Protein backbone atom coordinates (compact mmCIF):
# COMPACT_ATOMS: atom_id res chain seq x y z
CA UNK A 1 0.00 0.00 0.00
CA UNK A 2 1.22 3.48 -0.76
CA UNK A 3 1.29 5.94 2.13
CA UNK A 4 2.18 9.60 2.46
CA UNK A 5 4.91 10.10 5.04
CA UNK A 6 5.76 13.50 6.48
CA UNK A 7 9.27 13.67 7.91
CA UNK A 8 11.78 16.23 9.05
CA UNK A 9 14.89 16.76 6.93
CA UNK A 10 16.70 14.08 8.94
CA UNK A 11 14.07 11.46 8.06
CA UNK A 12 12.30 11.33 11.45
CA UNK A 13 8.59 10.61 11.01
CA UNK A 14 6.10 13.33 11.83
CA UNK A 15 2.93 11.83 10.35
CA UNK A 16 1.53 9.30 7.91
CA UNK A 17 -1.66 9.02 5.88
CA UNK A 18 -2.97 6.70 3.17
CA UNK A 19 -2.62 7.84 -0.43
CA UNK A 20 -5.99 7.81 -2.15
CA UNK A 21 -6.72 8.04 -5.85
CA UNK A 22 -8.52 11.27 -6.62
CA UNK A 23 -12.20 10.88 -7.36
CA UNK A 24 -13.67 13.45 -9.69
CA UNK A 25 -15.82 15.83 -7.69
CA UNK A 26 -14.95 14.14 -4.39
CA UNK A 27 -13.12 15.64 -1.43
CA UNK A 28 -9.39 15.05 -1.26
CA UNK A 29 -7.31 15.56 1.87
CA UNK A 30 -3.60 16.11 1.60
CA UNK A 31 -0.66 16.47 3.95
CA UNK A 32 1.24 19.67 3.23
CA UNK A 33 4.91 19.89 4.19
CA UNK A 34 5.97 23.02 6.01
CA UNK A 35 9.44 24.55 6.25
CA UNK A 36 11.93 21.93 7.45
CA UNK A 37 9.64 19.04 6.48
CA UNK A 38 9.58 16.65 3.52
CA UNK A 39 6.58 14.79 2.10
CA UNK A 40 7.23 11.32 0.67
CA UNK A 41 4.94 8.81 -1.05
CA UNK A 42 6.25 5.39 -0.08
CA UNK A 43 5.13 1.85 -0.89
CA UNK A 44 4.86 -0.09 2.39
CA UNK A 45 4.21 -3.78 3.01
CA UNK A 46 0.62 -4.43 4.09
CA UNK A 47 1.77 -6.35 7.18
CA UNK A 48 3.33 -3.17 8.59
CA UNK A 49 0.01 -1.36 8.33
CA UNK A 50 -2.13 -4.31 9.52
CA UNK A 51 -1.23 -3.79 13.19
CA UNK A 52 -2.57 -0.47 14.59
CA UNK A 53 -0.13 -0.58 17.55
CA UNK A 54 2.80 -0.97 15.17
CA UNK A 55 1.56 1.94 13.05
CA UNK A 56 1.23 4.09 16.19
CA UNK A 57 4.90 3.40 16.99
CA UNK A 58 6.37 3.84 13.50
CA UNK A 59 7.84 7.19 14.56
CA UNK A 60 9.83 5.33 17.23
CA UNK A 61 10.98 2.40 15.09
CA UNK A 62 11.39 3.74 11.55
CA UNK A 63 12.64 6.71 9.58
CA UNK A 64 12.78 7.73 5.92
CA UNK A 65 16.02 7.12 4.05
CA UNK A 66 16.56 7.31 0.28
CA UNK A 67 12.80 7.49 -0.28
CA UNK A 68 12.10 4.31 1.72
CA UNK A 69 10.76 3.56 5.18
CA UNK A 70 13.60 1.84 7.09
CA UNK A 71 14.07 0.63 10.66
CA UNK A 72 15.96 3.09 12.85
pLDDT at 13 over 70: yes
Domain span at residue 12 reads: 2-71
pLDDT in the model for residue 39: 95
pLDDT in the model for residue 27: 67
Indicate the Cα dihedral angle 11, 31, 5, 24, nearest 10°.
-150
Domain count, the chain: 1
pLDDT at 55 over 70: yes
Question: Cα separations (Å) of 48 from 10, 25, 35, 58?
Answer: 22, 32, 28, 9
Count of H-run helices and E-run strands, the chain = 3, 5
- Asked if residue 2 lies in contact with residue 19, where contact means CB atoms within 8 angstroms, the answer is yes
Confidence of residue 19 (pLDDT cuts 50, 70, 90): confident
Give the whole-angstrom CA distance, residue 3 versus residue 43: 6
Amino acid sequence: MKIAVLSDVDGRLIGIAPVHNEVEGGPVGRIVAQQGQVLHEIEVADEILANPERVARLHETHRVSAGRLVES
